[in-house]
Copies of this chain bind each other. A is one copy, B any other.
Amino acid sequence: MFFKVKSSDEIFEILKTFAPVGEEIVSISDGLNRILSQDIVCGEDMPHFSRSSVDGYAVVAQDTYGASEALPAFLELKGEVIMGKESSVGVSSGNTVRISTGGMIPSGADAVVMIEYCHLVDERTIEITRSVAPLENIICRGDDCRKGSVLLEEGSMLRPQDIGLLAGQGVSRVFVYQKPKIAVISTGDEIIPIDQEPRPGQVRDVNSYTLSAFCAKEGGVPFNMGLCKDNFNDLREKIHRALEQCDSVWVSGGSSVGMRDMTLKVIESFDEAEILAHGIAVKPGKPTIVARIGHKSVIGLPGHVASAMVVAEVFLAPFLVWLQGGDRRCNDHHVYIDAKMERNVESASGSDEYIRVKLIKRDGKFYAEPLWGKSGLISTLVQAEGLVKIDRHVEGLYPGQDVRVMLFHLPGEENK
């Protein structure tokens, strides 16, 4: 077989050849973190009438010019704007109408004086001790958005305020990209379901659970397809079913040479199958397979959980955003924190190396302490707060060197 070890950059390019998943319609109440598949155009000016932004009195601005504590202006009180209604009385020179925040500006008025600068002299007379400019304290029709403008672009991930804007426009449902359905298959004769008691030589299934949760965290919908023995027909049948139901198939396991070869052979046995990468120049994570069957991606992940997680964090997190149409540059949505290396790390692998680190805070600075441990261990991942990349062109990191830590989770204490 042709030797297809690829660089990280080549892998990103390969992943970008897969098309985003289809669209669906969701209620905006379910829209949080979903990615728009169409531009949203403003259907009506917002607000659709001019509103007061303060509690006070609607006036003709010119009536207040020169008004001060020493020389107040006096205006005749004609009434009050009722919230949610058009005012039945207008304002003209010499008179005023009481208005609350959000109230509709009465006809004739072009400014609002804040209540702090107004005093009721008698039941018909208001004393004004400050001047206002035209449009002061008014939100004009269309100030928030104008009919015909693009409110939100295709590819935007909806945040709470974006959903609020849609609500304000009366848009209750939107077209978004579907959440990619990811089939997770865990292979290996030694793997047993987690509710069983392992016999000597057997271990419980760590990878399905880790990868399914990872997939959900990044906006996918995991389909845990369960365990698969080291058997050509079983694996082929599972992948076949997975391709029917899901947008992408992630097979983990097959760390042994025999099993790796079998996963490759199973993929190649499908019509329209193409192995796009067999091996990535990253450490850990080298024995990764990227393949295409029809128009769907099949990813063969290392069996060692720490290796699988590095590949998932580095390549599959942006891939999931990409599949959701989210970022056409296949960008990095990780959160980073700056730290200094706590001790030296040698790296002469010729690959981009990712080391697991724990953060230590000392004198207001963060230090990244490398966590050593074989990639078959999960505890080092649990102790780790993130990954530090050692570029393939450098030979290691020295103590005190500035590094960026790719965090596994949102910052808590680290952030202070």
Shortest Cβ distance from A194 into B: residue: B167
Which one of B33, B162, B201, B331 lies within 8 Å of A413 (CB-CB)? B331
State the majority secondary structure of interface residues on A. loop
**A206, CB-defined interface residue at 8 Å:** yes
**A409, CB-defined interface residue at 8 Å:** yes
**A211, CB-defined interface residue at 8 Å:** yes
> Per-position contact with B for A303-335: 1 when CB-CB < 8 Å, else 0?
111000100000000000000000101011111
Tell me the complex Cα distance, A381–B163, Å: 11
Q: Is the CB of B145 within 8 A of A198?
A: no
Which one of B143, B160, B188, B206 lies within 8 Å of A165 (CB-CB)? B206
Q: Is the CB of A382 within 8 A of B53?
A: no
Tell me the complex Cα distance, A382–B153, Å: 11
Q: Is the CB of A200 within 8 A of B160?
A: no
**A408, CB-defined interface residue at 8 Å:** yes
Q: Is the CB of B84 within 8 A of A206?
A: no
Q: Is the CB of A336 within 8 A of B206?
A: no
> Per-position contact with B for A238-269: 1 when CB-CB < 8 Å, else 0?
00000000000000000111110000000000
Q: Is the CB of B382 within 8 A of A212?
A: no
Q: Is the CB of B378 within 8 A of A165?
A: yes
Tell me the complex Cα distance, A216–B160, Å: 9
Q: Is the CB of B210 within 8 A of A160?
A: yes
Measured CB to CB, the closest approach of chain B to A206, in angstroms, equals 4
Measured CB to CB, the closest approach of chain B to A381, in angstroms, equals 4
Interface residues on A, range: 35 or more
List the B side residues contacting A100 at CB < 8 Å: 255-259
Interface residue stretch chosen among A14-22, A24-32, A69-77 = A24-32
Q: Which of A29, A102, A170, A230 is packed against the most chain B CB atoms within 10 Å? A: A102
**A225, CB-defined interface residue at 8 Å:** no
Tell me the complex Cα distance, A410–B210, Å: 22
Which one of B165, B230, B377 lies within 8 Å of A139 (CB-CB)? B377
Q: Is the CB of A201 within 8 A of B55?
A: no
Tell me the complex Cα distance, A415–B101, Å: 39
> Per-position contact with B for A377-392: 1 when CB-CB < 8 Å, else 0?
1110110100000000
Q: Is the CB of B101 within 8 A of A160?
A: no
**A104, CB-defined interface residue at 8 Å:** yes
Measured CB to CB, the closest approach of chain B to A116, in angstroms, equals 11
> Per-position contact with B for A159-171: 1 when CB-CB < 8 Å, else 0?
1111111111111
A206-236: which have CB < 8 Å to B? Answer: 206-214, 216-217, 224, 230
Measured CB to CB, the closest approach of chain B to A81, in angstroms, equals 8
**A103, CB-defined interface residue at 8 Å:** yes
Q: Which of A164, A191, A208, A408 is packed against the most chain B CB atoms within 10 Å? A: A164
List the B side residues contacting A189 at CB < 8 Å: 82-84
Which one of B49, B216, B333, B374 lies within 8 Å of A200 (CB-CB)? B49
A148-165: which have CB < 8 Å to B? Answer: 151-152, 157-165
Q: Is the CB of A160 within 8 A of B53?
A: no
Q: Is the CB of B53 within 8 A of A408?
A: no
**A204, CB-defined interface residue at 8 Å:** yes
Shortest Cβ distance from A137 into B: residue: B374
List the B side residues contacting A213 at CB < 8 Å: 29, 31-32, 158-160, 163-164
Measured CB to CB, the closest approach of chain B to A149, in angstroms, equals 9
Residues on A facing B (Cβ under 8 Å)? 28-29, 31-33, 46-49, 51, 53, 55, 81-87, 100-104, 115, 139, 143-145, 151-152, 157-172, 188-192, 194-214, 216-217, 224, 230, 255-259, 303-305, 309, 327, 329, 331-336, 373-379, 381-382, 384, 408-413, 415-416
Known: A163-B213, A167-B210. 8 other contacts (CB 8 A): A102-B203, A102-B256, A139-B376, A144-B377, A144-B379, A161-B305, A163-B209, A335-B410
